[in-house]
Chain A
Amino acid sequence: MFSNILIYFVVIPLLMLGLLAVSQNMKQIRAVAVTGSLALLGLSVYLLTDYLSLRAAGADAPMLYTDSWSWFAPLNINMAVGVDGISIAMLILSSVILLTGSFASWKINPHPKEFFLWLVLLSTGVFGFFISIDLFTMFMFYEVALIPMYLLIGVWGSGKKNYSAMKLTLMLMGGSAFLMLGLIGIYYNGGHTWNIVEIAQGNLIDPSWQNFLFPMTFVGFGVLGAMFPFHTWSPDGHASAPTAVSMLHAGVLMKLGGYGCFRVAIYLMPQAAEELAWIFLILTGISVVYGAFSACVQTDLKYINAYSSVSHCGLVLFAILMLNTTAMTGAIMQMLSHGLMTALFFALIGMIYGRTHTRDIREMGGLMKIMPCLAVCYVIAGMASLGLPGLSGFVAEMTIFIGSFEHTDTFHRVFTILACCSIVITAVYILRVVGKLLFGPVYDEHHLSLTDATWWERTSTFALIVCVAAIGCFPNFFEELIKFTFSPQIFAVIGMN
């Protein structure tokens, strides 16, 4: 079992849990959190290079490093693992954000030990989800990742945290109720197996059942992807969550939704996707535009970015539903880009809030003079968000819209144009915040005595900025990584054109 490299993505977090449980003071807790997440990052980078060399050497299975250990044998449930380029991209994203999140919660208070225990449990679920190719274990890890949110927001959050924590948990679990029904349906109508690769390669699900199961799974994951009208947990949840949790949640957990929509709903049920995509295109199109408009009128920094997440994550689902190689490549890029950039945003907001004790943009101003380092980082994050070339947002959105425009019918064109408008609206709310918050006169003279970023805050933000710029400058590399999954032979196998 331990000869497979992937299993260590679950083993390391479990070891971290054990070590955290016995650690005595803040130093040990930080040491465990940083070492563990560095180990995970190293592991995922190693996996990346190894994967690329395997592909270069001609490996052509849809998933590599596959392995399967029998678990509930009578029901054919296995602990099956395997990754392709998309999963690896997500693993790297998760480990980067876990690492930077640990730095961002360097001085978390109170109960630091329990905070990190729940945080690491959450990431156990995340990593387990991305390495699984068995629907049962995938679903199990998915729920493991959801439930710590309740306590993380409830205990360490701010504002109306009780309400937000409960709303978030119930809505996400509500989504997973649909998901569970969908997955059990897939098992019975997909040849009595839970293995994604087997179902996809055999195209085992009967088309009439696909039309029922596709909406179930797509809505199930779509709730986590903040699809309209199931997005309302996201603003409240993000606004109340502590910094590192907002980072992980917007950066990684919402990607579980997009990844799941692709990996389960579309990968396994291509015919239904073809047939029913229009319904969800309308919904995600609304998410994209509505999220952006909502962000324009918010005054709380976290609400602004939460609504902007709704808009950007909506774009991920929107692109996936275009069902062509270019748009889907763009969707994966957008997941990476949005994950890193939102994590950066939330980290910065957390740092600013920690100093000014307000997140209301009307009560702040001129921060560029007071904390230049944080302010510059904020501008960079903003530029990435509105799609400045050279940063990640540009390549992702560009690819998505080019891919979407490949459809020649009016319906797709109209919705693509509508979604394109969101870029303009994004520019409006980003520039509004940057102008009000960072430039202009200092609003409150008490703010003049505030300090700039500490070393751990710089580590956290600079690491994220480097990643954002890396995607923006070397998009080819990431395209190389994920293109195999979207290559024609795989599409042919799963019945897509």
Chain B
Amino acid sequence: MDYSQFFAMKQEIGLLVVFLLVFLYDTFMPKRALGATGWVAVGLMAIQTLFGFCPSVSQSADAFAGMYETNAITACIKNILNIGTVIVMIQAIRWSKQDMVVIRRGEFYELILLTLFGMYLMISARHFLLFIIGLETASLPVAAMVAFDKHRYESHEAAVKYILTAVFSSVILMMGLSFVYGLTGSLYFSKIAGAIFAEGTISLMLIVAVAFVIGGVGFKLSLVPFHLWTADVYQGAPTPVTSYLSVISKGAGAFAFLVILWQVFGAVYSDAWEWMLYALIILTITIGNLFAMRQKNMKRFLAFSSISQAGYIMLGIIAFRGMGVAALMYYVLVYIFSNLAAFGVIGAIENATGRVSMDDYQGLRKTNPKLAFTMMLAMFSLAGIPPFAGFFSKFFIFTSAISQGSVAIYVLVLIALINTIISLYYYLLVVKAMFISEETPVIPEFKSACSERFAMWICVAGIIGLGIVSCVYNGLLDMVSTAC
């Protein structure tokens, strides 16, 4: 075996090194040094993020007879996930100092790094075996993270729900893959695609296989009708875990979904899965929005909001070609900053007062104007109000979807656009509670921890800067079009 091919996996190796260093620090350092575990993990992860931007990382390479592939696009989406993970880790520092959590603090950071490793594999896999390994590595540790609040009943419930749905969805996915294997005799993406293309006609078996694969991955992305676990898990999990689930898992899943659909089943796009995806997008956006309107718990609220956001991300898949990929990556990037800003505020308030209901946010402006302002920016960005980044990401994802040019896509985008208005309604409900409501504030004035403020500043800078500073999107688009 040629061991030099491991050097193709520069980012994976970097992440493993970070994981090992955190593990060793947590295990062997004296007790008084353990208070810094969080910051050590953040620092190492930040170095890993910077390392991802080295030019040598983005060179195309493959390993293990084509099972693994890396190129500028995968390196870039991994960098985006890295950035999000760093922010989540910073936000988790205050939470991880709680009495019940502090003794297992190291485990939390290790589990996060492990799941991230799994996502790296999902993104880079070009063989379904490696993909499944990545998928399982990315989902099983999350169950442990969801159950991290040992003393809370909801946390356990959420973990059980999560692991059952994760396993169930994997089963469905593998069922689909076994069909694919039966039809084509291979699990390599390229060979399956070649066999499907050579076949020419569409068999019912293939359509069923595609449906199973979409269903399996749809569970991870919580697309409607595979979304039923989402709200309970988001509500039960500790807030840092929820934020991690809602942005990082979703971003990685969306990108892997794009790769599978186009690289494996690209030849049968219009015959087999175009309409399935249309239906999924419409259902996901609409139902996510309709349910979000009635939520009072902020975490549940953002769970449904994130379901509908996943629908918008899917629009980028329909518009494959350079623009769609770039728009999807840009959307995920902006979504990471916007959603993490919202979760940052929720986490800060939960840590200080234990309150997570929207009713408790009444009059927040009077007691904690800066938190209220951050939350408002996050809501505006999620709703797609200019000049915040969310507007640009929505605009670009619609523009890229429409580049396909059919009448159906105009209808689909119109439905999505009308849904942005529905979503604006419930995002404004939060703004209304914080700014307009005249009731006496429930949440007293408090000072959030320095780590929380630091993470919020990063998110606010991202929300304001990512859109107006055009070089981010231009760079992504250039990179994608040279790599394609």
Contact = CB atoms under 8 A, between A and B. Distances in A.
A143 B391 contact: yes
Contacts of A72: 470, 473-474
Contacts of A136: 395
Contacts of A71: 470
B290 to A, nearest CB: 15
Contact of A154 (B396, B424, B436, B473): B436
A123 to B, nearest CB: 15
Interface residues of A, number: 32
A74 B326 CA distance: 11
10 contacts: A71-B470, A143-B385, A144-B386, A144-B387, A155-B436, A173-B424, A177-B414, A178-B417, A181-B398, A184-B402
A174 interface: yes
Contacts of B395: 136, 180
A150 interface: yes
B34 interface: no
A155 B380 contact: no
Q: Which of B386, B387, B403, B432 counts the most chain A CB atoms within 10 A?
A: B386
Contact of A151 (B414, B431, B474): B431
A166 B428 contact: yes
A73 interface: yes
B170 to A, nearest CB: 38
Interface in A119-166: 136, 140-141, 143-144, 147, 150-151, 154-155, 161-162, 165-166
B473 A177 contact: no
B375 to A, nearest CB: 14
Nearest to A188: B402
Nearest to B413: A181
Contacts of A188: 402-403, 405
B420 interface: yes
Contacts of B435: 151, 154-155
Contacts of B417: 177-178, 180-181
Nearest to B437: A162
Contact of B410 (A150, A161, A181): A181
A170 interface: yes
Contacts of A177: 414, 417-418, 420-421
A169 interface: yes
Interface string A455-481: 000000000000000000000000000
B425 interface: yes
B374 to A, nearest CB: 16
A73 B425 CA distance: 33
Contact of B402 (A155, A178, A185): A185
Contact of A184 (B398, B418, B428, B473): B398
A170 B426 CA distance: 11
A72 B399 CA distance: 13
A321 B387 CA distance: 32
B478 interface: yes
B334 interface: no
Given A136-B395, A166-B428, 17 more contacts: A72-B473, A73-B474, A74-B474, A74-B478, A74-B481, A141-B386, A144-B386, A144-B387, A151-B436, A155-B435, A161-B436, A169-B428, A177-B417, A178-B417, A180-B398, A181-B402, A185-B410
A75 B418 CA distance: 24
Contacts of B418: 174, 177
Contacts of A74: 474, 477-478, 481
Interface string B405-421: 10000100110011011
A422 B125 CA distance: 70
A140 B431 contact: no
Contacts of B477: 74-75
Q: Which of A144, A165, A174, A181 counts the most chain B CB atoms within 10 A?
A: A181
A378 interface: no
Contacts of A9: none
A187 interface: yes
Interface string B325-350: 00000000000000000000000000
8 closest Cβ pairs, A-B complex: A177-B417, A154-B436, A140-B386, A74-B477, A174-B421, A143-B386, A72-B470, A71-B470
Given A147-B380, A188-B405, A170 B436 contact: no
